[in-house]
Chains A and B, each alone.
Chain A
Amino acid sequence: MSFEPIWGAIIAWYLFLAGLGGGAFITSAFLGWRHPEAVNMRKVGHLIAPIVVIIGLCLLMFDAEGGLHNPLRFALLLTNFGSVMTWGVVFLGGFTIVAIVVVVLDFLKKSVPVWLDIVGVLFAVCVAVYTGALLGVCKTFPLWNNALLPILFLVSAVSAGMASVLLVAVVRHADEFNRVGVLKKFHFCLPIIELVLVASLMFITSFNSVAGWNSVMSLLVGQYAPLFWIGLVLIGLVLPTALETWLLFFSPKEFEESRKAHWISFGSDAGVLVGGFLLRFLVVVAALPVTITVPMM
């Protein structure tokens, strides 16, 4: 029996953009703490956060056709606090409000109070973890129903958020880009952690059940293998790790600050973003349910 995925690319984009927004806000807060001189990069992160999250929410409403035809029904989203999706609405709502307030403060050239940064970061972490927990509580899908997924999505969210801020900085604020060494080193570590998490997810899920094995095999050797190996693993994780290892630890300092190196970083960050989306997409579409009598493929 073949299985038609319940959710598709739209939901994958939404999960990615929600995580990306949270990650961008966390990046800004990190910059404020470790690189307070990188004022413009901080503002870039503040601006990316609400924009991508709002785009993601629009996609979500577009996918929920019952609500799209009757928008008032969206007000009912806050009625069942036993549902992870309801909590997601709370986190996304809170995060979007904080993120917009911060953008307004930036626009008015006022400083963002530390407590607001902390509240925003807490919401951002909740949003990123929620995108994993949303899928994670569906017991029927072994690829989702495990404790690794929320952590994997959180790491990927922060990684994508940092990549987005660094990517814009290459184009707009090259001087600041050269001075955020600590951020770059953190950003460098994340795809490596992600590689370990993805490998663990594949390994453990394949031993979980027939459905788990079939899901993993569709990623590793089946219909999603080209996207998984070339898109996610190579472009999204290995290439950024290799390029950044070379730039950060083996290339001469003069080269690291050259324009050529900046564009190499740009390519590596773009790869991280591609990988971030593909991670959500592949996890959403490759998951197969545990069935009653006949396994699905």
Chain B
Amino acid sequence: MARYGMLINTKKCIGCYACRVACQRQNDLLPEQDFIRYEEHETGTYPNVSIETVPLQCMHCEDAPCVAVCPTGAAYIGADGIVGVDEGRCIGCKYCMAACPYQVRVHNEKTGTVDKCRFCTVSAETSGTKMCSCVEACLTNARIFGDLDDPDSDISKEIAATNAQPIAGDLTKSKVFYVR
């Protein structure tokens, strides 16, 4: 079974938010639902300063705090390592939103349930279906998706070549890697 992950290169990211727009369209989200949020990180001391846009979304943690706290079992880790939400079990208590260290889970005002990045782009990876996902919409190819267990996959090679790391180190065994 594949173990899916993503790589995000913030050095390539221009902060255009195309990934969020694509995500909202692909997943038919409400206008206020954003599975991707951005932190604008300023570094350096004047006059040598720079701004880094850090896109954040569900990290599909192997050690997922949302799954640990979910009282109804609506938050789960699938066989392919993708963290999912079973909407039919979610009561909307928002405990997962409080437990998520990345604040990337969002409340759906219509259904009252909680949702987040579904790694939908896996369909494009496995069946070749053209999609409007964050990976495909990215203008600068800042995002790579693939199987972390396959040493010959693009993502595995890129992680090795760039020494990409999860955004918060070993905090939750995240499967989204960052080049920063």
Q: What residues make up the interface of A, taking CB atoms closer than 8 Å to B?
A: 1, 6-7, 60, 63-70, 73-74, 76-77, 79-80, 82-86, 89, 134-135, 137-141, 289-294
Nearest residue, chain B, Cβ from A75: B72
User: Which residues of B from 70 to 88 have beta carbons under 8 Å from A?
Assistant: 70-74, 87-88
* Segment at the A interface, from B100-108, B127-135, B147-155: B100-108
**For residue B95, which residues in chain A have a CB less than 8 angstroms away from its CB?**
83, 85, 134
Q: Which 9 A-B pairs have the closest CB atoms?
A: A65-B112, A66-B92, A67-B91, A76-B72, A85-B71, A66-B113, A293-B41, A66-B112, A83-B71
> B68 and A66: CB pair below 8 A?
no
> B98 and A292: CB pair below 8 A?
no
Size category of the binding interface on chain B:
35 or more
Given the interface contacts A7-B94, A65-B112, A293-B41, does A80 sit within 8 Å of B71 by beta carbon? yes
> B40 and A294: CB pair below 8 A?
yes
Given the interface contacts A293-B54, A294-B39, does A82 sit within 8 Å of B68 by beta carbon? yes
> A137 and B89: CB pair below 8 A?
no
> B167 and A292: CB pair below 8 A?
yes
**For residue B89, which residues in chain A have a CB less than 8 angstroms away from its CB?**
73, 76
Given the interface contacts A76-B73, A79-B72, A85-B69, does A291 sit within 8 Å of B90 by beta carbon? no
11 additional A-B pairs beyond A67-B112, A293-B52, beta carbons within 8 Å, are A65-B92, A66-B87, A66-B93, A67-B91, A70-B91, A74-B91, A76-B72, A80-B70, A83-B68, A138-B99, A292-B39
The answer, among A6, A77, A135, A140, for a CB contact under 8 Å with B72, is A77
Given the interface contacts A6-B97, A138-B98, does A77 sit within 8 Å of B39 by beta carbon? no
Q: Is B168 close to A, CB under 8 A? A: yes
Given the interface contacts A73-B72, A140-B100, A292-B167, does A85 sit within 8 Å of B93 by beta carbon? yes
A291 CB, min distance to chain B CBs, angstroms: 7
Given the interface contacts A76-B73, A80-B71, A83-B70, does A67 sit within 8 Å of B93 by beta carbon? yes
